[in-house]
Amino acid sequence: MANVGRNTPVRKFDAIVVGAGGAGLRAALQLSEAGVKCAVLSKVFPTRSHTVAAQGGVGASLGNMGEDNWNWHMYDTVKGSDWLGDQDAIEFMVRAAPEVVIELEHFGMPFDRNEDGTIYQRPFGGHSMNFGEKPVQRSCCAADRTGHAMLHALYQRNVRANTQFFVEWMALDLIRDPSGQVLGVTALEMETGEVMVFHARATLFATGGAGRIYSSTTNAFINTGDGLGMAARAGIPLEDMEFWQFHPTGVAGAGVLITEGVRGEGGYLLNKNGERFMERYAPNLKDLASRDVVSRAMATEIKEGRGAGKEGDCVLLKLDHLGAEVIDKRLPGIREIAKKFANVDPVKDPIPVVPTVHYQMGGIPTNYHGEVVVPKNGNANSVVPGFYAAGECGCASVHGANRLGTNSLTDLLVFGKASGNSIIRYLKENPGLKDLPKDAGDRSLSRLARLESQTNGESYAEVAKDMRRTMQKHCGVFRFPDTLADGVKKIREISDRVTRTEIKDKSKVFNTARIEALELDNLIEVARATMVSADARTESRGAHDRSDHHGRDDVNWLKHTLWYKEGDRLDYKPVNLKPLTAESIEPKVRTY
């Protein structure tokens, strides 16, 4: 049994970073190099975090391949977000992008190179020249292993900076005092089952996404929305959770990601008739339109009987015309994945692909400094003292209703660094560590005690499966009013069942059943936030497409959703259309 005694040990730090993916490592590096006493907690060894699976590149207007500038990158991102992105945060990100990419190169990242020795950049979906005119080469990459190269480079730089890691520690709950200030987290050491309080003046969540709320996802097993669950339980709202990106090219059946870089390098999609159907849906950018647009086009082809494969339930990604040399040089990992997971060699045959859940555009609401913000006393964006979020778990919001490919890596570098800097500033201005509230560990200890003593409960694996099936069926690429309403009802029922899950394994030592049951506590909050928010938003915008409300409704819905766990309450706040210095990009019709 886990240590559930009153005497939970406490460790004090200046700052805690929860999660050691790209955002967590970039923030940790900023903190360590500034001499901040900082602890980084991770469920897995840092290089196993899911940033490792990013393939196609990181977006930055370096202009190495031809003319490019941040204004174009900004326009593409705002348009990609279907105008739900906050333009101050977007301007901040695209302007900082070149600098953080160059820094990464200085850290040792093995970017691909041009003949002149500069970083190679490839075209990517939704990235354009001159405000939508034609594709631009903006994605800085290391073959199709950009995330792997990036995560390792960031980890290595943290080794150099002597960052203190707590590897295979799972954060359980956020600690807030009665004023709402955040004072750290409780965490479980997986190897021993011991619980400890990490007490700090600043806490950064960089816990990644929660794609595992769906049955078919490109996400890793560890992507269980732990930060979102912890925030929701502590009374923090979750923003824009109805917006989930379906990546157009997941391997049919397996769900494994095939980078958009394939289309960036010249690959394209075919239906069963061998027709390059994207020409009909996006005459200008074609296969390089935004992901929501391509995924919907694919789903439409399949729905209307033009899907490929025995069951007609996929489309084909053709790239053999690129030739073995280009494929082996630019897309070697894709060739490996296709052979292993789709049983095809893309040098000869097309890869069967389907839209697959990939990225959570919403998350813990923050401003562009990485500070968590909530509505309070009439201020829609009141800062929660001591609390920060960056990367996929945060919502600044730069991706709005649909993220552009490559902008996730840009996001985690820019906002990882920015939140590190914000914490450094905050620590200088707030020297004293406030006492822990008396009940600091109670929520976690009672969750653990409940799991220990639960009998006649349901298997956590069964309940999790039902949740995934429900999300897959009720909140997919196309959404329908009756299935949404029904989905809300079902997910609430499953939510009740989650409170009675049972584990048979009661061992202290590396009890992965316990970990999975605790993860389900987090997943279910994300699933409920998603269903409830999606059901309420009666328009179609970005990745949220409703059969009963076609098209965007800027009059009623140009606003961010805020979901609170307590009573499944919804609130809304305005989108910031005012950039920092640039001119506002006014909402208009979105075509590619």
Partner 1 sequence: MQFRVFRYDPDKDDKPYMKDYEVELEPTDQMLLDALVRIKEQDDSLSLRRSCREGVCGSDAMNINGKNGLACTTKLSELKQPVELKPLPGLPVIRDLIVDMTQFFKQYHSIKPYLVNNDPPPEKERLQSPEEREELNGLYECILCACCSTSCPSFWWNPDKFVGPAGLLHAYRFLADTRDQAAAERLDNLEDPYRLFRCHSIMNCVDVCPKGLNPTEAIGKIKTMMVKRAV
Quick check: 421 binds partner 1 (CB under 8 A)?
Answer: no
Which of 10, 65, 220, 326 forms a contact with partner 1 (CB under 8 A)?
220
Quick check: 141 binds partner 1 (CB under 8 A)?
Answer: no
Instruction: Tell the smallest beta-carbon distance from residue 408 to partner 1 (Å).
Output: 16
Say how far apart CA 8 and CA 72 lie, in whole Å: 52
The 3-state DSSP class for residue 589 equals coil
Is 291 catalytic? The answer is yes
Of 50 and 573, which CB lies nearer to partner 1 in the complex structure?
A: 50
**176, 291, 335, 546: which is the annotated catalytic residue?**
291
Rounded to 5 degrees, φ, ψ at 314 are: -150, 175
Helix, strand, coil % in the chain, rounded to nearest 5: 40, 25, 40
Which of 8, 10, 69, 118 forms a contact with partner 1 (CB under 8 A)?
118
Instruction: Tell the smallest beta-carbon distance from residue 417 to partner 1 (Å).
Output: 15
The 3-state DSSP class for residue 22 equals helix
Q: How many CB atoms lie within 10 A of CB 133?
A: 11
548 DSSP 8-state letter: T
**What is the distance of C-alpha 76 from the center of its chain?**
19
Which of 34, 53, 433, 536 forms a contact with partner 1 (CB under 8 A)?
53
Quick check: 353 binds partner 1 (CB under 8 A)?
Answer: no
Contact 132, 74 (CB under 8 A): no
Q: Which residues contact 431 (CB under 8 A, 6 or more apart)?
A: none
Quick check: 102 binds partner 1 (CB under 8 A)?
Answer: yes
Q: Considering only CA atoms, which of 391, 383, 381, 397 is closest in space to residue 239?
A: 397
Say how far apart CA 369 and CA 38 lie, in whole Å: 19
Q: How many residues bind partner 1 (CB under 8 A)?
A: 60
Annotate each residue in 465-504 with x if it binds partner 1 (CB under 8 A) or - if it does not, as one string. --------------------------------------xx
153-192: which residues touch partner 1 (CB under 8 A)?
Answer: 153, 156-157, 159-160, 191
Angle of helix 481-498 versus helix 460-474 axis, rounded to 10:
170
Which of 37, 106, 276, 489 forms a contact with partner 1 (CB under 8 A)?
106
Give 498-528 as a 3 state SS string.
HCCEECCCCCCCCCHHHHHHHHHHHHHHHHH
Quick check: 66 binds partner 1 (CB under 8 A)?
Answer: no
Instruction: Tell the smallest beta-carbon distance from residue 119 to partner 1 (Å).
Output: 5
Give 112-179 as a 3 state SS string.
CECCCCCECEEEEEEEEECCCCEEEEEEECCCCCHHHHHHHHHHHHHHHCCCEEEECEEEEEEEECCC
Which of 337, 372, 384, 575 forms a contact with partner 1 (CB under 8 A)?
337
501-540: which residues touch partner 1 (CB under 8 A)?
Answer: 503-505, 507-513
Quick check: 435 binds partner 1 (CB under 8 A)?
Answer: no
Instruction: Tell the smallest beta-carbon distance from residue 222 to partner 1 (Å).
Output: 5
Quick check: 148 binds partner 1 (CB under 8 A)?
Answer: yes
Just list the catalytic residues.
Answer: 291
- Interface residues with partner 1 (CB under 8 A) are 44-45, 47-50, 52-53, 102-103, 105-108, 110-119, 142, 145, 148-149, 152-153, 156-157, 159-160, 191, 220-222, 253-254, 256-257, 333, 336-337, 340-341, 459-461, 503-505, 507-513
